[in-house]
Amino acid sequence: MTQHPTQSPQFFLTAPSPCPYLDGQFERKVFTHLVGDKAPEMNDLLTQGGFRRSQNIAYRPACETCRACVSVRILAGEFTPSRNMRRVLHANSDLIGVMHDAEPSTEQYSLFRSYLDARHRKGGMSDMTVLDYAMMVEDTHVNTKIIEYRRRGPDTFITGRGHGELIAVALSDQMADGLSMVYSYFDPELADRSLGTFMILDHINRAKAMGLPHVYLGYWVNGSRKMNYKMRFMPQEHLGPKGWERFEG
């Protein structure tokens, strides 16, 4: 009988670079490749251990002098939206999200480009081409989904599909214990809809419907204003030295 050696992941450490969240700090990351048949199982384990996925790479902070990045996951089954969140849900009740396999489209890239140009013109993703975007979506060995949000149309209750132009998109991993939001973007001219909040609320509802206990939001960075929105979704758990611990603000 032929025996195949067990392949353990190899981990690597990046060189220090300026932190994109905290002025004066430098970040380092430990990372490994997510490839092969065991990638979905490995992604589950690493995400539960505080890693994030980008294409076929799983990474987490390994900074020498800072521990501000904290992994956050929402307890979907216990979540109750606030009054403001209920208003966001009502304001977007004309939208429907369709989940399908992670496949890029020119329509997605056009919206993605508009979002970057309006919100992150000086960010690290600002120069992404259509090929870079396709790689971001397709280069995955795990169970990755795209959710496209459009206005409800006359066919909604027949096909489950929306109608009209693309308004928002979420790239998410479906894991054994939850949904992990990898990246999301939306029409920057529709800021009054609070589409970022809406997509998180939609993921919580989807996780509940699928019987999954968690929605992973990535890192909350203590001291970074751009990350404060993640603290609005309670109850949640934070990953610390003793493992995942309940946090209610």
Q: Structural domain boundaries of the chain?
A: 73-217
What pLDDT score was predicted for residue 235? 96
What pLDDT score was predicted for residue 160? 55
What pLDDT score was predicted for residue 8? 78
Find tokens 């990474």 and name the residue. Answer: 59
Separation between Cα atoms, residue 83 and residue 207, nearest integer Å: 21
Residuewise pLDDT in 10s, the chain (249 residues): 444 444 678 999 999 999 988 998 999 999 999 999 999 999 999 999 999 999 999 999 999 889 999 999 999 999 999 999 999 999 999 999 999 999 999 999 999 999 999 987 666 676 889 999 999 999 999 999 999 999 886 655 555 565 678 999 999 999 999 999 999 999 999 999 999 999 999 999 999 999 999 999 999 998 888 889 999 999 999 999 999 999 976
The helix (run of H) or strand (run of E) holding residue 73 is: strand 69-75
CATH code of domain 73-217: 3.40.630
Residue 91: φ, ψ to 5°: -65, -25
What pLDDT score was predicted for residue 242? 93
Find tokens 């294409």 and name the residue. Answer: 55
Which residues share a beta bridge with 98?
Answer: 148
What pLDDT score was predicted for residue 4? 44
Find tokens 């529709």 and name the residue. Answer: 190
Q: What is the pTM of this model?
A: 0.90
Separation between Cα atoms, residue 126 and residue 179, nearest integer Å: 26
Q: What's the one-letter identity of residue 191?
A: A
